[in-house]
Structure 1
Amino acid sequence: MSQPAILSVERASCDASDGLVSLEEARSRAAAWAVPVEEHEEVVLDQAVGRILAQAVAADLPLPPFDQSAMDGYALAAGDGLPAGSVLTVIGRAAAGDGARTLPPGSALRILTGAMVPRGADAVVMQENVTRADGRIALSRMVRPGDNIRRRGEDVQAGETLLAEGTRIDARHVALLAAQGHGTVCVRRRIRVAVLSTGNELRSQGETLADTSLFDSNRPMVLALARQAGAAVVDGGIVPDDPRLMAEAFRDLATRCDLIVSTGGVSVGDEDHSLAALAKAGGMGESLRIALKPGKPAAIGRIGHAAYLGLPGNPVAALVSWLLLGGAVLAALNGRPARPLAGMRLPLTHTFERRPGRTEFAPARLVQTSGGLAAEILGRGGSARLKPLAAADGLVCIDALHAPVRAGEPVMFHPFRDGFAI
């Protein structure tokens, strides 16, 4: 659940006097409100991508299931080593799928990649390393026992654990399960995530904008993020800044979902009603002030069996908070630890002025420089700016005490290419 590259400095910068909690503590506290969803189901293998494995899977058979040729060539008996210049008679041909053969002494069998190695053979010589004429081959190099043979079970032994419970299935796991003959797999039920936005100024796409209204971008974004994370999503719509109406929405969604996510209304302003509405709906929760920029305020809690996560209203802050807190809550609902964001340390292309005190995330793109790959921060901050976010390749993360960041100094870069899988 922790992110050492980010938190090692941050813990040193946050103390009780400033009232801020570390990213690590915020993720842990958010996850603690989640009740794991235990229901599971059997799904067709090619529809299992993104799902969470409900139980460990053991290998039913070894891979490869028999000794097989690793390339096109000739199967032969090398014994203690067959020297260059040796001549062997070719007795036939074996392709993948052909039945078992037996190799007489002093002979060779033309063999293609994936074919079963005949009994009596202990090596395969590459076709490039022989000359063939008149039904015989002459070796142009020494051949040793075991050359170019994939041994039975060298990849997977029968009975060994293939995949652990809690694995998030991707195409690699599908291939491994398919090679074992699995047509279906047992996975946890999809987490049901409801997303709503709060704000009197918000309008849905297709509605008419008034002079002081805005189209809601947070709800579509978080719905997309939750879907990319493998959840089943419920659109909770837009709710006005009214604790009574918010409480009604929370109560309704809690009967249908495992996680309720709202955006906006989590700070300390006059129209920030999220926690009050949660309590009015019969839930409980707490406010977080996180050593994070953007995304310092957040709210966490539970109503019934549904976890609650309140994100900031500005879109960049909402995205960053979802990646950090939403990932931890979804993982806990799936009964597994949160995975850290996958990042790499890259130099910054330019000096970035900032004040120390909070870990900061900023949209950035990758740039190829004379010294190699580097990260360029886009825009000049602003948690409400969407254009730099859309143009970015990922987010840079700057340690709390790293201020300012000079050109060429390293920062952590977290790419968007994995679809924000968490």
Structure 2
Amino acid sequence: MSHLVVFPVGRSSCDAADGLVSLEEARSRAAAWAVPVEGHEEVILDQAVGQILARAVAADLPLPPFDQSAMDGYALAAGDGLPAGSVLTVMGRVAAGDGARTLPPNSALRILTGAMVPQGADAVVMQENVTRAGDRIVLSRMQRPGDNIRRRGEDVQAGETLLVEGTRIDARHVALLAAQGRDTVCVRRRIRVAVLSTGNELRSHGEPLADTSLFDSNRPMVLALARQAGATVVDGGIVPDDPQRIAEALRELATQCDLIVSTGGVSVGDEDHSLVALGKAGGMGECLKIALKPGKPAAIGRIGHAAYLGLPGNPVAALVSWLLLGGAVLAAMNGRRAQPLAGMRLPLTHTFERRPGRTEFAPARLVQTVEGLAAEILGRGGSARLKPLAMADGLVCIDALHAPVREGELVMFHPFRDGFAV
């Protein structure tokens, strides 16, 4: 880590950091403090969502495991092609789960979706494409070999790699593994993430509010984000703005967790003690001044075996910083490279005045216009406002030099629908 600036005990937060670093550099430097977690565990398949696959999985079975009908209709022998007007006698019925059948010559079998194609049949005619009278059907269009048949192994071949090591499991992967008859899967041990808030003004739910105090929203939010990212979480509570008290909390949490996240105390104010406290606790770290709005200041480092991430105190800034830096740290701990946030370019519904210099994220909702989908930035801006965040469908990301943004110009929109997966 020779490229990192390490602050000894007694240096103040971000005072010693010169200039702004790019988002890519900030993510890379945050990930550099992380060490991949050790240990694997076998978990029940439907409880593996959000966890990281510990080893590649190969297919034991072909999918489909046999030729099967893709439609409700009639199995027949098309040969070189069976023309419209052909008349066939229906000699029976085959449903999904029925045993193997053989198609009698010059006949058809009623067949339902998912049923095994009878021996001797090479096509299935959709029931909409026949006229039936009694036990006879008349084809209304030409049928060719292979029509409406799912061939054995056309989806998955036995022995092929289904999922690679490092895959973050979601419901799609659960379905694929379940179709192979698997009820468990080997995953990396869940990362243990502790979250604490710092601030004399903060109170937890149930505590009385003084005239100058606030209920803590950051800690519950980041705990929820960490859970959604597949981590096991530890609530570190609220710690006053006292370097010694913060150091004691960090030292204790470092014995229990892989990553400690704090919110507040990472800027240049008199009560910003994050890196000083990290040093007092026996750790080391660096301050980041990021070319980012909101979320310019952040702190990263280590204490013992635990990585440390200090987020800004304002909630929108804390959220954005978690998505960018927290995602990079968790990816490194899971032995992966951090993926860029998924998004799409959309026009803005209105002009957004801003100064160039920093990449900016803002809460936005989707709007259907006569010209298609567009994004509308919510609220007057500001990193302390929760209501626009709660009303938004996602975040727009505006390039550092894109200023101002005129109505109709394109911005990158990152939806919340994925549950803030990182």
Q: Is the pair's TM-score, using the shorter chain for normalization, greater than 0.5?
A: yes
Other-structure match for 2:304: 304
Match of 1:315 in 2: 315
In structure 2, C-alpha distance between the alignment counterparts of 1:391 and 1:30, rounded to whole Å: 30
Q: State the distance in 1 between where 2:360 and 2:96 align.
A: 56
**Alpha-carbon distance in 2 for matches of 1:70, 1:290:** 54
Distance 2:360 2:40 in 1: 38
Query: Cα RMSD between the aligned structures?
Result: 1.2
3-state SS of the aligned residue for 2:364?
strand
CA deviations on 1:79-118 (whole Å, 9 max, x unpaired) are: 1111112222222111111111111221211111111111
Kindly state the Cα deviation for residue 135 of structure 1 after the two structures are TM-superposed. 2.1
* Residue identity opposite 2:101 in structure 1: R
Match of 1:382 in 2: 382
Provide Cα deviations, 1:203-259, integer angstroms capped at 9, x if missing partner.
Answer: 111111222222111111111111111111100011111111111111100010010
Matched, 1:154 2:139: no
- Report the secondary structure of 2:147's partner residue: coil
1-structure distance, mates of 2:202, 2:64: 58
Match of 2:24 in 1: 24
Aligned to 2:188: 188
Question: Which residue number in structure 2 is paired with residue 83 of structure 1?
Answer: 83
2:406 corresponds to 1:406 = yes
Q: 1:166 Cα deviation (Å)?
A: 1.0
1:165 and 2:168 correspond: no
| Counterpart for residue 41 of structure 1 | 41
Unpaired runs of at least 5, structure 2: 1-16
SS where residue 54 of structure 1 aligns? Answer: coil
More moved, 255-264 vs 276-285? 276-285
1:370 Cα deviation from its structure 2 partner: 2.1
Give the aligned residue type for 2:157. Answer: Q
TM-score by length of structure 1 reads: 0.94
Shift of 1:129: 1.6
The equivalent of 1:13 in structure 2 is: none
Corresponding residue for 2:210?
Answer: 210
Q: Percent identity?
A: 91
Residue 167 of structure 1 aligns to which amino acid in structure 2? T
Question: Residues 369 and 131 of structure 1: is their aligned pair in 2 closer, same or farther, counting only changes over 3 Å?
Answer: closer
State the partner residue of 2:254: 254
Range with bigger deviation, 330-339 or 398-407: 330-339
> What is the CA distance between 1:134 and its match in structure 2?
4.1
Structure 1 residues 320-373: Cα deviation after superposition (integer angstroms, max 9, x where no partner):
100100011111111111122111111111111111000001111112222222
Which range is displaced more, 388-397 or 175-184? Answer: 388-397
Correspondence list, 1:67-146, <5 A: 67-146=67-146
Aligned to 2:58: 58
Name the CA distance, whole Å, in 1 between partners of 2:409 and 2:204.
42
Q: Can you give the 5+ residue segments of structure 1 that lack an aligned partner in the other structure?
A: 1-16
2:233 matched residue in structure 1? 233
Give the Å deviation of 1:18: 7.0
Structure 2 CA distance, aligned partners of 1:370 and 1:135? 53
Runs of 4+ off more than 4 Å: none
CA distance in 2 between counterparts of 1:290 and 1:116 reads: 60
Please, which moves more after superposition, 102-111 or 112-121? 102-111
